[in-house]
């Protein structure tokens, strides 16, 4: 893996950190020597087949239900150009830059594996766009996730042939022909099968899955931090997180989350203050069962990561150009493995947000917060405190519950019933992106409330880990006091969560969390 300074396309695929680096950090990409050789072998096989009378899907025939239409040799280059133009039929707002960059990289990755029959110049042009910071304008709606992400990938391919639109490095929306010319990039004239090879993949949904996994791994550690702050502020116990108790149920995610809670709560004067003589036998589920819920989400992320890892080693196209020269149709482009993983992660994100909201509600309810003022207000009645921050959090949790409904079961047949079962994987990935962002916002609200709760437990000292979290929140969000404009403070907390600054501050104090 060469993610530090650059990424090289190889015949064996890519690793997730490489995808994230190219999508988000604009790390440069090159076509490796072995990949180039593999592409040249496959391109030669397609060229030979294109000049013969033997029918081959997408080379000498039409597409989808038009596969029975034979295309004469002199029209086969026009066939590829027409395919790209007709399939660039997306609708809606442009997809995010990082998603399009990841999608382009992953399509180049498949072509570089040497099973698609595209020439090296096709991949080199794709990498040229990435390197120049040119991002094709890809509308949000259009993919059913069956023959891959056809419409989104077609919009990317359209830019390669000098048509359609791109965003340039400064974010301006421009004609692709103009932007490519300015960058010194020659548009590609597509040869046999190359148009089809550019669009028949699961690369958009896979890019979104990989980015979501990266984000969720950080957010689930933030969830442990927020949990620990709420446990302290609510005078909860750390006994339920004991290693020997947790080991009785050997779920790996649960063990990791509980270990984080033990580290975060170690040395807490607040927890120690009621360790003996407390009449409560046990805490509410939202405190006591936190490692079980967040741990299950962790295990779900690792399942999804295994799916993504297999996809990153997969050649996704149709037909496939085999090493023995055969060109065979297959169903590897069907997006169901990725779609199911995205749906599963959306469920996990909804659950983690749901239990965080329950802890927030408990912090604000004077009948259950064990001595904290109603809504953590300075002068309850005159002041409403953080009441409405919780309302916003609850609204987001409700949205995530709706987003947890699976897209993958909602197949709609298309292409005159040739494509009679589709994955809806693109839709699953799109709603997952919203669910992940929503989770960050839910945790941001809990952090604001938890930090104020810890302040109100003074002079008892918080644990080193939770004190570090409170301190970094206090750099951007004021402490207890009369009512003030709340939205900017929640937004500041969200930025601490999404940027990684909160986690970095905590880990600098107590070491890396699991």
Tell me how many helices (H) and strands (E) the chain has: 20, 9
Sheet holding 165-167, edge to edge: 135-136, 165-167, 173-175
- Strand, helix or coil at 231? helix
Q: Which of 219, 233, 90 is nearest to 494 (CA)?
A: 219
Which residues, other chains included, contact 495 with Cβ-Cβ below 8 Å and sequence gap of 6+? 476, 501
CB atoms within 10 A of CB 172: 9
Q: List, as one string, the DSSP characters of 91-108.
A: EEEEPPHHHHHHHHHHHH
Nearest to 71 by CA among 195, 199, 198: 195
What is the C-alpha to C-alpha distance for residues 457 and 462, in angstroms, rounded to an integer?
9
Question: Do residues 343 and 407 touch, judged by C-beta distance below 8 A?
Answer: yes
State yes or no: is 391 an active-site residue.
no
Catalytic residue among 57, 115, 285, 485: 57
CA 360/CA 233 separation, integer angstroms: 11
**Cα end-to-end span (Å), the chain:** 23
Q: How far is CA 485 from CA 354, 443, 449, in A?
A: 25, 19, 15
Task: List phi, psi (to 5°) of 189.
Answer: -95, 110
Task: Return the number of other C-beta atoms located less than 10 Å from residue 514's C-beta.
Answer: 15
Q: Which two tokens stand for residue 228?
A: 């620990």
227 neighbors 290 (Cβ within 8 angstroms):
yes
Please tell me the distance from the alpha carbon of residue 491 to that of residue 497, in angstroms, as a whole number: 10
Separation of CA 421 from chain center: 25
Instruction: State how far the Cα of 409 lies from the Cα of 327, in Å rounded to an integer.
Output: 31
3-state secondary structure 234-280: CCCCCHHHCHHHHCCCCCHHHHHHHHHHHHHHCCCHHHHCCCCCCCC
Contact 120, 197 (CB under 8 A): no
With tokens 């259009």, the residue in question is 142
Contact call for residues 95 and 154 (beta carbons, < 8 A)? no
- Angstrom distance (rounded) from CA 63 to CA 57: 7
Q: Active-site residues: which are they?
A: 57
């Amino acid at each position: 893996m060469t993610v530090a300074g650059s990424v090289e396309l190889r015949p064996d695929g890519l690793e997730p950190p490489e995808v994230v680096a190219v999508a988000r950090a604009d790390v440069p990409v090159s076509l490796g020597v072995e990949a180039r050789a593999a592409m040249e072998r496959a391109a030669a096989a397609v060229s030979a087949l294109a000049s013969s009378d033997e029918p081959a899907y997408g080379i000498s025939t039409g597409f989808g239900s038009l596969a029975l239409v034979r295309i004469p040799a002199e029209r086969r280059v026009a066939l590829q150009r027409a395919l790209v133009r007709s399939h660039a039929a997306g609708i809606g707002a442009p997809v995010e830059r990082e998603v399009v960059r990841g999608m382009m990289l992953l399509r180049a990755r498949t072509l570089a594996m040497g099973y698609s029959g595209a020439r090296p110049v096709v991949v080199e042009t794709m990498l040229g766009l990435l390197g120049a910071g040119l991002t094709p304008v890809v509308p949000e709606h259009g993919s059913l996730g069956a023959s891959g992400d056809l419409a989104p990938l077609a919009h990317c391919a359209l830019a390669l042939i000098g048509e359609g639109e791109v965003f340039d490095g400064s974010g301006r929306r421009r004609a692709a022909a103009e932007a490519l010319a300015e960058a010194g990039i020659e548009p590609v004239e597509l040869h046999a099968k190359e148009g089809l090879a550019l669009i028949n993949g699961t690369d958009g949904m896979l890019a979104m899955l990989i980015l979501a996994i990266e984000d969720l791994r950080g957010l689930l550690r933030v969830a442990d931090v927020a949990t620990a702050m709420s446990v302290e502020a609510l005078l909860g116990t750390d006994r339920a997180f004991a290693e020997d108790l947790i080991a009785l149920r050997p779920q790996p995610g649960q063990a990791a989350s509980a270990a984080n809670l033990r580290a975060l709560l170690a040395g807490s004067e607040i927890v120690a203050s009621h360790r003996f003589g407390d009449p409560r036998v046990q805490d509410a589920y939202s405190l006591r069962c936190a490692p079980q819920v967040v741990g299950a989400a962790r295990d779900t992320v690792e399942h999804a990561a295994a799916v993504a890892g297999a996809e990153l080693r997969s050649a996704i196209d149709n037909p496939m150009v085999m090493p023995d020269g055969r060109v065979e149709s297959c169903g590897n482009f069907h997006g169901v493995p990725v779609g199911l993983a995205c749906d599963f992660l959306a469920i996990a994100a909804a659950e983690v947000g749901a239990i965080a909201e329950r802890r927030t509600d408990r912090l604000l309810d004077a009948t259950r917060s064990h001595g904290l003022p109603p809504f953590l207000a300075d002068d309850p009645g005159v002041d409403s405190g953080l009441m409405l921050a919780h309302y916003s959090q609850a609204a987001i949790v409700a949205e995530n519950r709706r987003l947890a409904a699976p897209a993958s079961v909602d197949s709609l047949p298309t292409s005159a019933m040739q494509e009679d079962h589709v994955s809806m994987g693109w839709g699953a990935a799109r709603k997952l992106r919203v669910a992940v962002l929503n989770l960050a916002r839910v945790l941001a609200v809990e952090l604001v409330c938890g930090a104020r709760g810890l302040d109100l437990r003074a002079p008892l000292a918080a644990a080193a880990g939770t004190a570090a979290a409170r301190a970094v929140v206090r750099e951007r969000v004021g402490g207890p006091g009369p009512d003030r404009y709340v939205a900017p403070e929640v937004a500041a907390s969200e930025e601490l969560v999404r940027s990684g600054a909160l986690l970095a501050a905590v880990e600098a104090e107590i070491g890396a969390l699991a």
